[in-house]
Structure 1
Amino acid sequence: MSFVIGLTVVTAMGCGLIAGLFFAFSVAVMDALGQLAPSDGVAAMQRINRVIVNPVFLGVFFGTGALCLALMMIAVPWRGDTVWLVLGGVLYLVGSLGITLICNVPLNNRLARVPADSLEADIVWADYRARWTRWNHVRTVSSLLASASLVLGV
């Protein structure tokens, strides 16, 4: 029993960390980049997208997903009232990992192919910022709700 509680707490913390990262982008980083000249905004976001692919971020991001899966598999046989734990896992796996892989990563890949100082960058940047940020809001809320759901499950 204490193992499942500990696993739930660690998983909720991972969801909270990711929610905080996404939140910072939604309320500050993307607005700041949007105030730059398009070529500078594109160059900065391209750099951010390269730098964030590091062992610490990937470990927390995908590790939290793995913990969600483990928690859902362990918790269901452990006790009957696992709705909050399963809901938290699904919210993170679909709303954070899924949205990232299906929506944000393809946008990042498209942006990576655009020379920052090209005329095309102006057009791509405006579309990218709007769509990427919209999906980032979804990831933020999903990760936060996943964390809250896991806390309620404890």
Structure 2
Amino acid sequence: MTAFVEVLLVVAILGTGIVAGVFFAFSGFVMQGIGRLPAAEAARAMREINVTAVRAPLMLAIFGTALVVAVLAVFAFLGEPEGATWWSLGGAALYLIGVVGVTGTANVPLNNRLAAAAEADAPALAAAWQAFRPGWLAWNHVRTIASTASSLAFVLALVG
């Protein structure tokens, strides 16, 4: 295994682990805490989180990691890391499909629907929250599991 691939694997492990931690926090306690608010206030809180989420720290973690795991997938197709290519390919697939894909096709559209609810209409905002929360949380669980499993796959590729 080349030193460059080893560095990429370490960066992928850190990136997927950080992303898994963020998603775990939302699945484990953030959404439950927000859910304790009245529904219209919970919707407002989540909308504010969604506005602040699309900035450098989280976007760099999610999409910078996606770039690293995509590069690792290319190396895996070329036979690197030797003896652990399947772990690298599996980790990349889990991350790119289970994190980036799910984020773009499930969580972001749900965020957009919540953002479109009329701010001044508390009953409509509350209804939007009730429609938003179960699906968003279920998909976030998928992202949590996918990023955690991806991190594990990259650990196994590094030590394998």
TM-based fold match above 0.5:
yes
TM-score of Structure 1 vs Structure 2, range by shorter chain? over 0.9
Q: Would you say the 8 A contact 1:107–1:132 is kept in 2?
A: yes
Q: Would you say the 8 A contact 1:15–1:143 is kept in 2?
A: yes
Q: Would you say the 8 A contact 1:4–1:75 is kept in 2?
A: no
SS at 2:37 equivalent: coil
- Cα root mean square deviation, aligned: 1.1
Q: Would you say the 8 A contact 1:39–1:117 is kept in 2?
A: no
1:34 alignment partner AA: G
Runs (4+) of structure 1 exceeding 6 A deviation are none
Q: How does 1:136-151 map to 2 (within 5 A)?
A: 136-151=140-155
Give the equivalent residue in structure 2 for 1:101: 104
Q: TM-score, normalised by structure 1?
A: 0.96
Unaligned runs of 5+ residues in structure 1 are none
SS at 2:117 equivalent: coil
1:29 alignment partner AA: V
**CA-CA distance at 1:80 after TM superposition:** 5.1
Give the equivalent residue in structure 1 for 2:131: 127
Q: TM-score, normalised by structure 2?
A: 0.92
Segment of structure 1 superposing worse, 135-144 or 70-79: 70-79
**CA-CA distance at 1:67 after TM superposition:** 0.5
Q: Would you say the 8 A contact 1:40–1:116 is kept in 2?
A: no
1:73 alignment partner AA: V
**CA-CA distance at 1:117 after TM superposition:** 4.5
The whole-number CA distance in structure 2 between the counterparts of 1:108 and 1:88 is 27
1:83 alignment partner AA: W
1:14-40 deviations in whole A, cap 9, x for unaligned? Answer: 000000000000011100111101111
2:141 alignment partner AA: H
**CA-CA distance at 1:75 after TM superposition:** 3.0
2:30 alignment partner AA: V
Segment of structure 1 superposing worse, 118-127 or 66-75: 118-127
